[in-house]
Structure 1
Amino acid sequence: MLNHLTLKDFAVVSASELAFGQGLTAVSGETGAGKSLIVDALLWLTGTRADAGIVRHGAERAELAAEFGLHDAPDAAAWLRDNDLDDADGCQLRRVIRADGGSRAWINGRPATLAQLSELGGLLVEIHGQHEHQALLERGHQLGLLDAFGQHEPRLAEVRTLAQAWAELDREITEISRAGDVADRIGYLEHQLGELGKENLEVSDIDEMLGAHRRQSHAASLLSGYDLALTRLAGDDGLSVTRGLRQVAGELARHVDAEPRLAEIVSLFESAEIQLAEAASSLERLRDDLDLDPQHLQQLESRMARLHDLARKHRVPLNELAHRRDAITAELDALRHASERSDSLFAEREAAGQRWQAAAEKLSAARIATAKRIGKAVSALMGELGMAGGVFAVELTPQDSPKPHVLGAERCEFLVSANPGQPPRALRKVASGGELARISLAIEVAALGLDSVPTMIFDEVDTGIGGAVAEVVGQKLRTLGKTRQVLCVTHLPQVAAQGHHHFQVNKAVNGSATYSAVSVLDDKARIEELARMLGGVEITKETRANAKQMLGKAQSA
């Protein structure tokens, strides 16, 4: 639900901050005052391409921001989570459009693309009116609305799952078929695997080989280093390090009675003597283990050369040769079983197609029944909305592709005939903006807001009507407001009186500049605005009484 809308330097609005509530909100004002600015602002906030003309004259940029609650928008909340743009239980859209035509957008304070704004905006706001941005004109949305009206989701989910399973089997068959005659490939891979199989390629063995090679390569210097260290430790070229430590410890021990703290130092020397003895023993073992063997070194170098040749041939590091061997083994197994797998896949695909067909037929039967119900309901509402004799119908036609489709076996097209005797035409081809808006309203009322979009906006849905029809339009909008948040831009008092809330847009001229401001009306101000909408140049006492009666009747219903 839309909670707040903030406008700054937008068209003729210098600055405005609006709070919205549940139910139906009516927006009215003098002709040319800018009643549709709220609609325009939400269009820009939901992905419409930037136009420098919306920046107020003399300003550097226009700034727009909207805050939505997500308690009634689970699809939008899921989208935000999937795109790592979620922020608690709310959603903020912000857009800045510069006077040079450039723009930037943010979702919950993080930079966003227009595509992201549009995708998310479609889950938050649905706009109906005399413009091209109407979701109801899109055939995909029409099919979704039909399924929502008939509560087909369980059947549709089954069809979608089966179509995806069929597509996966078909993709695997295509990949096998693309490979063609694999005999040459099998022979080539077997040769490669034979070469790799002659060597021990495990990472631990290769590391051990490299270590052995390093030791053999440096055997002479290592032996020299071992001997020198042992000689010095043993004292063969002078005083033994161990003996020197023992002498120092003994000398200091004679003074412990005089200075007890020397005992700890003497202990450290004794520990050092023990560690030196252990070090000397370890050095002796290393020296004894080291075998200066030129033949072994040559064998290690030969093996290293073979491994490096294999690594260059397969374009992998030494420690990935085992992975390459395993990959070749897996590919060989797949190729050897390709023919057998292909026969199995064809059978599986055929069975999957039959399962999809059965599920799709059940969905098609449900859609046919639902199409009749929604057609009858909307046709009846069209009569109430001033299009007596008008007909609404849902046309179901086969999908273009014979393959199993995730949306079922048919496409959907909404058809309307606004006047008796005229053949129904596609809703997207209806010329009259006013008729299109009222038909959209009839569809939404008939569906009782079954689509998941929480906020619906109707811009000038009352164009070309008046009197009793206008009152019915207002009543239908109020009914829709029981299940969805509804905003309606209107010039008719019969519609405005039905609103749970009422905004008024006023235009004023200050010198050479024109400004528009939006204000929230209380009951007294609403009566004055309804009287203005009812009356002419002069508002009389009778007009105000009529407005008061109209408002009271609407609010008590």
Structure 2
Amino acid sequence: MLTRLSIRNIVLIEALDLDFGRGLGVLTGETGAGKSILLDALGLVLGNRADSGLVRSGEAKASATASFEFAQLPEALAEALDDADIEIESGEALVIRRQVKADGGSKAFVNDQPVGVALLRTLAASLVELHGQHDDRGLVNPRGHRLLLDRYAGADTARVAKAWAAWSHARDALETARTAIEDAKAEQDLLIAHLAELTTLEPQAGEEARLAETRSTMQKGEKLAGDLEELRHIWEGSDSPLAELRSAARRLDRIGGEHPLLKEALEALDRAVIEAGEAEDKLAAAAEALVHDPQALDAAETRLFELRALARKHRCEVDELPGKMRAFRAALDAIEGGEAELDALQLAEKEAAAAYRSAAEKLHDVRVKGAKKLDKAVAAELAPLKLDAARFQTAIEVLPEDKWGPTGMDAVEYLIATNPGAPFAPLGKIASGGELSRFILALKVALAEQGGAATVIFDEIDRGVGGAVASAIGERLARLAKDGQLLAVTHSPQVAARGGTHYIIAKSSEDTVTRTSVALLDDAGRQEEIARMLSGAEVTPEARAQADRLLEGV
């Protein structure tokens, strides 16, 4: 709730510090005393537009600071602060400060941390609910009507939210699978063609290196064929060098025993024969290895070129072609398997949709019953508030399927008709601000405080009424404030008498300087102020006596 409001240099207020407590607090004062300045200052804290005209004449800047305290921080408020990385300890006050410069521009702070004005507007929904001549928040805003009805009706929305999450998940899975299959089908013919091409060629890992080596060897054999043939003729036949060496070795063997040198010569010649024989074997082996078949060479070159061309086509290395072939085959298999999977996902999505629809329809029925009960409760409050010719209706519209969500399939809005035969219209469209405030009061009483902001403010809810109606308004305001905090700006003595705390707003002038002040009244001050409200400019004994009776009657 709002515990303190500090104002510096805003319009006619030079410096003001107000403390607030629980229950009903009333603010009174003569017309033009400056009650709207308090609301303007609070509006700054809540994120309203910063108008430099609010800065007191002759000052460079103005500021408004509001402190709020909570037994337990509201969930929405905690989430907003967490999103803004603002930490608040248990039991710690939430302090919002807004500065406005006379030459334009403003700054906002939450617990001394600079923030954007958008955050203030977000926090405002949980902090203050203002109902007055230009009400555009709280119960007037249809965005909160469904939640209030659900709380009033005791609706279990968690089941619908869970069913919605399950349905959304099933739809996403189905859509993902369907898109994947459609994409694959679009390339199916191309996949088949690629796979057929690869299957025909049947590439093997390491094949490029083997073919390149075979081709290189054959090409060398083709180049050396003439030289090898000449060498073969040299080494073959009876007159070849090797044959001559062998003949010489045989002759030397016959005479080798005649002299040691001959024996050594024979040994050397034997070694030469052996080396020459090895050379002959190597030449024969080389000739065999380098033998080339023009057709085989052509086949090797053709396959190598085909493999490399296919690799370029698929933008990969030749050794990666077998992997490509497996990938294409797997993609085609997935298309076939995906059809069966798609059937299962379609069934799951259908079942999830049916479960959501069933839960949402049950929630709809609960809302319809709750709406009838709420309409009856509000109707009972209208006559005492001098709205007996008016009608209230909780409109529940079943939305088209594309508008369904975790909160169900319904749109909820509170409608009113102020005159017999007049059509129902949204709360915010009503012409009279006083009537609107009384409608809001009737609705809040009927809702029995089902949610809403921590602090509720009614600005001149009693405008244009008096007597029994004003008493009825005061009684209902006090009832609403019993377990919370409610502030009322009023001109009605019947309403003022109901206040647990009473503030008087006064304007004074000294030379050319005009100031607005606010003071907390004691019991005597309350009696005098209520007497003034009853009698006008001159307070009479009769007015004081009537004020006593009002205060004693609450």
TM value normalised by structure 1: 0.71
Inter-partner Cα distance in structure 2 for 1:85 and 1:337: 51
The answer to whether the aligner puts 1:137 opposite 2:147 as a matched pair is no
Inter-partner Cα distance in structure 1 for 2:516 and 2:428: 33
Inter-partner Cα distance in structure 2 for 1:490 and 1:523: 18
Inter-partner Cα distance in structure 2 for 1:55 and 1:355: 58
Moved more, 331-340 or 70-79: 331-340
Counterpart code for 1:149: Y
- Aligned 8 A contact 1:73 1:123 in 2: no
Counterpart pick for 2:101 among 80, 98, 103? 98
Query: What secondary structure, in the 3-state scheme, does the structure 1 residue paired with 2:407 have?
Result: coil
Q: 1:337 to 1:69 in 2, by over 3 A?
A: farther
After superposition, the C-alpha distances for 1:318-376 in whole angstroms (9 at most, x for unaligned) are xxxxxxxxxx9x99998886544433322222111111111111111111111111111
Query: What secondary structure, in the 3-state scheme, does the structure 1 residue paired with 2:56 have?
Result: coil
- Aligned 8 A contact 1:4 1:17 in 2: yes
Match of 1:115 in 2: 118
1:287-306 pair list within 5 angstroms: none
Counterpart code for 1:457: I
Inter-partner Cα distance in structure 2 for 1:112 and 1:477: 34
Inter-partner Cα distance in structure 2 for 1:66 and 1:444: 25
Q: 1:127 to 1:73 in 2, by over 3 A?
A: farther
- Aligned 8 A contact 1:73 1:453 in 2: no
- Aligned 8 A contact 1:73 1:454 in 2: no
Inter-partner Cα distance in structure 2 for 1:403 and 1:122: 24
Query: What secondary structure, in the 3-state scheme, does the structure 1 residue paired with 2:388 have?
Result: coil
1:409-420 pair list within 5 angstroms: 409-420=409-420
Inter-partner Cα distance in structure 2 for 1:514 and 1:336: 86
1:408-557 pair list within 5 angstroms: 408-554=408-554
Q: 1:403 to 1:425 in 2, by over 3 A?
A: closer
Query: What secondary structure, in the 3-state scheme, does the structure 1 residue paired with 2:362 have?
Result: helix
Q: 1:515 to 1:178 in 2, by over 3 A?
A: farther
- Aligned 8 A contact 1:23 1:482 in 2: yes
Counterpart code for 1:181: D
1:141-220 pair list within 5 angstroms: 141-152=144-155, 155-179=156-180, 180-182=182-184
Query: What secondary structure, in the 3-state scheme, does the structure 2 residue paired with 1:487 have?
Result: strand
Counterpart code for 1:167: S
Inter-partner Cα distance in structure 1 for 2:149 and 2:393: 11
Query: What secondary structure, in the 3-state scheme, does the structure 1 residue paired with 2:49 have?
Result: coil
Match of 1:397 in 2: 397
Counterpart code for 2:139: L
Inter-partner Cα distance in structure 2 for 1:331 and 1:465: 79
Counterpart code for 1:54: L
After superposition, the C-alpha distances for 1:25-72 in whole angstroms (9 at most, x for unaligned) are 001111011113332222221121221122112211111111111215
Match of 1:128 in 2: 131
The answer to whether the aligner puts 1:362 opposite 2:362 as a matched pair is yes
Q: 1:473 to 1:332 in 2, by over 3 A?
A: farther
1:62-73 pair list within 5 angstroms: 62-73=62-73
Query: What secondary structure, in the 3-state scheme, does the structure 1 residue paired with 2:396 have?
Result: strand
Query: What secondary structure, in the 3-state scheme, does the structure 2 residue paired with 1:182 have?
Result: helix
Query: What secondary structure, in the 3-state scheme, does the structure 2 residue paired with 1:36 have?
Result: helix
Query: What secondary structure, in the 3-state scheme, does the structure 2 residue paired with 1:67 have?
Result: strand
Inter-partner Cα distance in structure 2 for 1:518 and 1:40: 15
Inter-partner Cα distance in structure 1 for 2:113 and 2:144: 29
After superposition, the C-alpha distances for 1:199-249 in whole angstroms (9 at most, x for unaligned) are 9xxxxxxxxxxxxxxxxxxxxxxxxxxxxxxxxxxxxxxxxxxxxxxxxxx
Shift of 1:515: 1.2
Match of 1:32 in 2: 32
Shift of 1:177: 3.9
Percent identical residues: 38
Query: What secondary structure, in the 3-state scheme, does the structure 1 residue paired with 2:499 have?
Result: coil
After superposition, the C-alpha distances for 1:108-154 in whole angstroms (9 at most, x for unaligned) are 221211221111110111111111422212222111111121122xx
After superposition, the C-alpha distances for 1:382-404 in whole angstroms (9 at most, x for unaligned) are 11111123211111111144464
Q: 1:515 to 1:335 in 2, by over 3 A?
A: farther
Shift of 1:20: 0.6
Shift of 1:471: 0.7
Inter-partner Cα distance in structure 1 for 2:32 and 2:520: 19
Inter-partner Cα distance in structure 1 for 2:7 and 2:479: 29
Query: What secondary structure, in the 3-state scheme, does the structure 2 residue paired with 1:33 have?
Result: coil
- Aligned 8 A contact 2:396 2:411 in 1: yes
The answer to whether the aligner puts 1:379 opposite 2:382 as a matched pair is no
Shift of 1:171: 3.0
Inter-partner Cα distance in structure 1 for 2:492 and 2:472: 12
- Aligned 8 A contact 1:415 1:425 in 2: yes
Shift of 1:419: 3.0
Inter-partner Cα distance in structure 2 for 1:331 and 1:65: 66
Counterpart code for 2:33: A
- Aligned 8 A contact 1:388 1:419 in 2: no
Q: 1:464 to 1:401 in 2, by over 3 A?
A: farther
Counterpart code for 2:127: L
Inter-partner Cα distance in structure 1 for 2:531 and 2:6: 29
Unaligned runs of 5+ in 1: 192-197, 200-312, 315-327
- Aligned 8 A contact 1:449 1:483 in 2: no
Query: What secondary structure, in the 3-state scheme, does the structure 2 residue paired with 1:502 have?
Result: strand
**Aligned Cα RMSD in Å?**
3.0
Query: What secondary structure, in the 3-state scheme, does the structure 2 residue paired with 1:519 have?
Result: strand
Aligned pair count? 424
1:265-304 pair list within 5 angstroms: none
Moved more, 450-459 or 476-485: 450-459
Counterpart code for 1:36: S
Query: What secondary structure, in the 3-state scheme, does the structure 1 residue paired with 2:183 have?
Result: coil
Q: 1:106 to 1:332 in 2, by over 3 A?
A: farther
